[in-house]
């Protein structure tokens, strides 16, 4: 059901897997979609929706929903669902609002003041996956941050049938979305990147999606800002002889049900009963209502043996997974800086599923090893940060202002930028 990969071959296994996915033709397909929507706007968008999302729309208006519609959807929810969404939103806000620091200034002995200020991005597009299920959590994980940052114009996008998406629409109301576009895929991202006759462009796109969405974000970067290239969901689970086999199995299945392209890695220390794990995995899969999705996902999943916790962490660091679970108690938290992963869940009672919903941190996390250079979405991603300095006549009284001028002049001259030097010499006269 799942492969066994020798730990000494893990690096080669990951490289081969990466090369395989590069050859799947997605890049060319997405390029054609983006080009068509850029050139023909609503016409191409409608054509793509009908083709890829299996709809029969006559007008783009059929997928656009305003704030009144979203409010009605929220008000129509039962009490339990309302409270569930509000609880999740409050947990996310509680974690992230500690990052709010919009202005800082400092003084030194060279200039009057310097520092930075931050302003919210004006218009953002928040993508949430759909089709096989509805994910209000994905709307809230980015939308609560956008609202907290006071973004003025929020557009939410997700595919699926309208009648199955009440929680998605209601979540969009909670985060103050101005509109919802009920479509997904590369075509929708192209539409909000360039704008169409009926869809306004945005400044930055956030949110996870499938391989086509991730590739569209890659190709659209520069035309519009993006958070990161969030591809198929993944987890690495480190277990030892004391870890619960059933916990590991259930978390494995939870990750696999995201989609057929999800990836799961079980890194097991000596004493863990791998055979029992596999038996339990088969048993649980046989009764799962999402068996077909999980079965296909498990093709991408594997087990890896490790001889110690340090060895297990080093193997996980080759993967740099989106989620890392260490289902072991009494972990030395001083080791945390050594771990390379998007989000880490430590202890026998921890689960990445907690991070998917109500733990607090965003579940929009880099995948496919991109955690080596990018981070999970945070409040700062919704701001533009600008530095400033103040130098007035009073700066000449500062002990260091003359040194700042002299050294800047010298550096400019060494670079051959003589007018740069002259601009400062004029101030030094």
Q: Cite the active site residues.
A: 322-323
The C-alpha atoms of residue 348 and residue 242 are separated, in whole angstroms, by 9
Instruction: Please answer whether residues 42 and 60 qualify as being in contact, where contact means their C-beta atoms are separated by less than 8 angstroms.
Output: yes
Q: In what order do the strands lie in the sheet with 383-390?
A: 103-106, 113-120, 383-390
Instruction: Please answer whether residues 33 and 189 qualify as being in contact, where contact means their C-beta atoms are separated by less than 8 angstroms.
Output: no
> Which H/E stretch holds residue 364?
none
Residue 415 is given by DSSP the state T
Three-state DSSP class for 234?
Answer: strand
State the burial class of residue 247 (Cβ atoms within 10 Å of its Cβ: 0-12, 13-18, 19+): middle
Instruction: Please answer whether residues 280 and 247 qualify as being in contact, where contact means their C-beta atoms are separated by less than 8 angstroms.
Output: no
Q: Chain centroid to CA 399: how far? A: 46
Task: Return the structure tokens found at 232.
Answer: 């198929």
Instruction: Please answer whether residues 175 and 151 qualify as being in contact, where contact means their C-beta atoms are separated by less than 8 angstroms.
Output: no
The C-alpha atoms of residue 370 and residue 341 are separated, in whole angstroms, by 9
The C-alpha atoms of residue 268 and residue 253 are separated, in whole angstroms, by 17
Q: Among 88, 98, 87, 100, which residue's Cα sits nearest to residue 382?
A: 100
CA-angle at 279, arms to 277 and 285, nearest 5° = 100
Q: How many CB atoms lie within 10 A of CB 89?
A: 21
The C-alpha atoms of residue 38 and residue 155 are separated, in whole angstroms, by 19
Q: How far is CA 177 from CA 85, 138, 143, 145, 356, in A?
A: 15, 14, 8, 12, 21
Crossing angle of the two packed helices 166-174 and 79-96, in degrees rounded to 10? 50
- Residue 205's DSSP bridge partners are 125, 226
């Amino acid at each position: 059901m799942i492969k066994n990969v020798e730990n000494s071959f893990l690096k080669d296994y990951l490289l081969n897997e990466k090369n395989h996915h590069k050859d799947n033709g997605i890049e060319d397909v997405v390029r054609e979609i983006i080009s068509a929507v850029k050139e023909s706007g609503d016409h191409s968008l409608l054509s793509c929706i009908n083709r890829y999302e299996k709809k029969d729309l006559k007008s783009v208006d059929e997928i656009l929903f305003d704030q009144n519609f979203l409010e009605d959807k929220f008000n129509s929810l039962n009490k339990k669902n309302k409270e569930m969404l509000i609880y999740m939103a409050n947990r996310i806000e509680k974690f992230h609002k500690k990052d709010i620091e919009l202005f800082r200034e400092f003084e030194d002995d060279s200039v009057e003041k310097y520092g930075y200020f931050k302003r919210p991005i004006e218009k953002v597009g928040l993508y949430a996956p759909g089709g096989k299920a509805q994910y209000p959590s994905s709307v809230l994980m980015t939308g609560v941050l956008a609202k907290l940052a006071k973004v003025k114009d929020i557009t939410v996008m997700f595919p699926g049938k309208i009648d199955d998406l009440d929680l998605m629409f209601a979540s969009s109301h909670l985060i103050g979305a101005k509109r919802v576009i009920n479509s997904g895929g590369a075509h929708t991202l192209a539409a909000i990147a360039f704008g169409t006759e009926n869809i306004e462009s945005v400044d930055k796109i956030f949110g996870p999606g499938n391989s086509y969405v991730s590739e569209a974000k890659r190709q659209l970067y520069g035309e519009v800002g993006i958070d990161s290239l969030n591809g198929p969901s993944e987890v690495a689970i480190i277990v030892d002889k004391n870890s619960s086999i059933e916990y590991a199995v259930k978390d494995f299945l939870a990750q696999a049900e995201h989609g057929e392209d999800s990836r799961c890695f079980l890194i097991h220390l000596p004493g863990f009963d791998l055979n029992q794990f596999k038996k339990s995995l088969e048993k649980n899969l046989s009764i799962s209502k999402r068996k077909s999705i999980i079965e296909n996902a498990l093709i991408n999943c594997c087990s890896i043996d490790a001889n110690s916790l340090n060895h297990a962490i080093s193997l996980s660091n080759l993967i740099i997974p989106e989620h890392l679970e260490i289902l072991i108690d009494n972990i030395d938290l001083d080791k945390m800086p050594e771990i390379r992963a998007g989000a880490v869940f430590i202890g026998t009672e921890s689960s990445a599923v907690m991070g998917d919903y109500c733990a607090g941190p965003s579940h929009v996390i880099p995948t496919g090893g991109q955690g080596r250079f990018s981070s999970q979405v945070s409040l700062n991603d919704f701001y533009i940060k600008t530095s400033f300095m103040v130098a007035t006549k009073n700066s000449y009284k500062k002990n260091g202002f003359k040194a700042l001028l002299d050294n800047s002049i010298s550096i400019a001259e060494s670079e051959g930028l003589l007018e740069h030097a002259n601009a400062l010499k004029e101030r030094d006269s």
